[in-house]
Each structure stands twice: as structure tokens, then as C-alpha cells.
Amino acid sequence: MTTIPPSHPRYLSLKTREQIAQGMKQGIVHETGLIAHGRGEAFDYLLGEATHPQAEAASKVAAAALLTAAHPVISVNGNVAALAADSCIHLAHSIPAHLEVNLFHRTLERMEKITALLQSKGAQTVYGLAADERIPGLDHDRALCEKNGIFSADVVLVPLEDGDRCQALCAMGKTVITIDLNPLSRTAQTATITIVDNVIRALPGLQQWVVALNDTPRSDLAQMLQSWDNTHNLKTMLSFLSKRLNSLG
């Protein structure tokens, strides 16, 4: 692994990039995950690599959705496993929720490696390998999921997701939470709750909201979810981005 001195002005970004590159060498991250990461980096740069009030608001309502869910599931792909496996496990423990490995580029080898990584870090139940159901409306292996996992979940957290699957999960009537640095992506636009932020900041942030809201009456949390306007929040985020670009020009 390349040693990046902590004094480097781009230390965190370079360290994260290195984590993704290592993840690919270990067979966790698919090679196209590097491209997805680069796109994410570009959006994060525009966001000033910071968590914005719109992301905080979305995280708060996402925590409410997860706490009021009957069967919440956190979906883990290669990039998320490489960047934020510990955060996913802590979050799953706090809610509590189950984890499911669900890959766009599904191979048995990657499924096993990601499952083993999560288990080696203390995850209890990890769904995904014993896929026995399909997400309706999706072609190919990316539809594969477990009956007791994503298939029967009422709330699914899909960080860093491809748009088709997000749409298909919404069409199943599920509440879909995503974390996506690109507010224009199909995933961001179709999810029930979109947290426009980097998974490395958003997952610990979400965890904090889960802890903070844990004692709130469930009826108040349900009300928060019911009154959530994702389209409005995304518009505010886009307006911030365009103002920031104008101010830089």
C-alpha cells in the first residue's frame, strides 16, 4: 500500500482512493468500482468534501425510517465493503438491521470475499450468498437476493447504488434510502430518501442519528418519514451546488 503522509493536503482523499485500489487488488471491489469512485470524488470536490444541512436532514429522516422499520436491511456492495465495512456493521447493530451482500457485478468469488470480510469484522447474519429470490423487473444476476433479507425488507439502505435496482426496489413498495454523492443520478432521483454525501461521512452520521432518535416515540418518527419531501431536498442541494460553481467562476 502506498504510504501517504498525513501532512499531505489531500490526505483523506488519497487514503480513501488507496483503500478502493486495495479493495480491487483483494477482489472485493469490481474494476468499474474505481470509475464509480472517481465520479464520486468529483462530486465530493464540488460539495467541498463536507456534510451539508440537506444531507443532515436526510440522515435524520433515514434514521427515523430505519428505527420504525419492521425488517430493515443494509445492502453492501464492493465499494461500500472496501470503504465502510465497519460503519455498516455498527449501524446494523444499533438499529438493529440485517446486512446483505448484493452486487451489480455478481460473482461467487466476490460474494464470498465480501461476506467473509464482514464476518471477520464481527457481522452476525450476512445474507446474500444463499440467494433464493429475485427482485422483479431486473434482468441478470443483480436481481438475486435472499427471501429473508432484501426480498422481504420493508426499508432498504442501498449506499452507492445503481439506478435500476433502486427503482426496482421502490417498485416493490419498499422505502429505499440511498447515499449518493451525485444528486442527479437515477438512484438519487428515485430513492425515497437520498443522502447526498460520501459514504465515509454519511454512515457514521446516520449511526449518530439512530442513537439520538432511539428514545423518540415511534409515532413521531413515522410522522417525520411521512412528511419527508425528497424532491425538495434534492432541489435545495442542486441549488447549493450551482451557487457554489457560480461563486468559483
**Smallest gap from residue 154 Cβ to ligand PTJ (A):** 22
In the bound state with ligand PTJ, the residue whose beta carbon lies nearer, of 39 and 218, is 39
Q: Which is nearer to ligand PTJ, 81 or 221 (CB)?
A: 81
* Shortest distance in whole angstroms from residue 120 CB to ligand PTJ: 18
- Pick between residue 90 and residue 222 the one whose CB is nearest to ligand PTJ: 90
Q: Give the shortest CB-2-to-ligand PTJ separation in angstroms.
A: 19
Smallest separation, CB 138 to ligand PTJ (Å)? 13
Binding site for ligand PTJ (CB under 6 A): 30, 32-33, 36-37, 39-40, 43, 77-79, 83, 103-105, 160-162, 179-182, 185, 198-199
HEC profile of 8-70: CCCHHHHHHHHHHHHHHHCCCCCHHHHHHHHHHHHHHHHCCCCCCHHHHHHHHHHHHHHHHCC
Closest CB to ligand PTJ among residues 63, 181:
181
Minimum CB separation of residue 245 from ligand PTJ in Å reads 17
- The residue (of 68 and 87) whose beta carbon lies closer to ligand PTJ is 87
What is the C-alpha to C-alpha distance for residues 41 and 2, in angstroms, rounded to an integer? Answer: 19
Nearer to ligand PTJ, 116 or 218 (CB): 116
Closest approach, Cβ 219 to ligand PTJ, in A, equals 32
The 3 state secondary structure assigned to the chain is: CCCCCCCCCCHHHHHHHHHHHHHHHCCCCCHHHHHHHHHHHHHHHHCCCCCCHHHHHHHHHHHHHHHHCCCEEEEECHHHHHHHHHHHHHHHHHCCCEEEECCCCCCHHHHHHHHHHHHHCCCCCEECCCCCEECCCCCCHHHEECCCCHHHCCEEEEECCCHHHHHHHHHCCCEEEEECCCCCCHHHHHCCEEECCCHHHHHHHHHHHHHHHCCCCHHHHHHHHHCCCHHHHHHHHHHHHHHHHHHHC
Query: Cβ of residue 186: shortest distance to ligand PTJ, in angstroms?
Result: 8
Pick the closer one to ligand PTJ by CB: 66 or 160. 160
Q: Which residue, judged by CB position, is nearest to ligand PTJ in the bound state?
A: 40
